Amino acid sequence: MSRYRGPRFKKIHRLGALPGLTNKKPRTGNGLRNQSYSGKKSQYRIRLEEKQKLRFHYGLTERQLVKYVRIAGKAKGSTGQVLLQLLEMRLDNILFRLGMASTIPAARQLVNHRHILVNGRIVDIPSYRCKPRDIITAKDDQNSRALIQKSLDSPPREELSSHLSLHPFQYKGLVNQIIDSKWVGLKINELLVVEYYSRQT
């Protein structure tokens, strides 16, 4: 299954807020239309929607998400929390959380077009897993910095998580530590996602 490139509002109306997918808001309502009939949902549908929420927020294909679930399942600790940590530490998500990109798709484009350096080296893989003490900077190029400045000039969406530091005038972000689950930028029940996949096998 390929990465979703259809109407973004359609997903917001069905699944609720997906800040990584779009920074725009629907003109009417609050993007939570599906809550009006939530009482009629089956347990399977509830788990499916949580899985879809995770997938569309982080911009993953189904195959990528399955891979992350398998990696998380083999790691120590809660599978759900490890899964969220893996997704949050992706380079495209780190750029988004730093405010250097307005959405995760925009961050992915920055990386794909070779505008971003990690520890002084260009990284063009959006799924690159960032580690504590990684230094993320814009390429020393007017075009690269202009793209990032446009996002930095926008009002911040939320308080910057303690696992990151931003130096906007240097177009630089620092990864201080692995993210704590309380700072995950998406309201989600990760256990339902794990249950969804455990029931598929």
Q: What is the pLDDT of residues 64-106, one digit of tens each?
A: 999 999 999 999 989 999 999 999 999 999 999 999 999 999 9
What pTM does this model have?
0.84
Give me the sign of the Cα torsion angle 178, 182, 186, 192.
positive
Tally helices (H) and strands (E) across the chain. 8, 5
Q: Which two tokens stand for residue 96?
A: 């988004």
Encoded amino acid at 175, one letter: V
Model confidence pLDDT, tens digit, residues 133-168:
999 999 999 999 999 999 999 887 778 889 999 999
Fold of 90-178: 3.10.290
Kindly give the residue spans of alpha helices, DSSP state H, lying in the chain: 8-15, 43-58, 62-74, 79-88, 91-98, 104-112, 142-152, 190-198
Query: Which is nearest to 97 in space by CA: 170, 17, 162?
Result: 162
Question: How far is residue 75's CA from residue 28's CA, in Å, rounded to a whole number?
Answer: 43
Q: Give the pLDDT score at 48.
A: 92
Q: Give the pLDDT score at 155.
A: 80
The dihedrals phi and psi of 138, each to the nearest 5 degrees, come to: -80, 150
Q: Give the pLDDT score at 15.
A: 62
Cβ atoms of 78 and 42 closer than 8 Å: no
Q: Give the pLDDT score at 7.
A: 53
Mean pLDDT computed over 111-116: 97
Segments making up each domain of the chain, as ranges: 8-78+187-198, 90-178
For residue 96, the 8-state DSSP code is: H
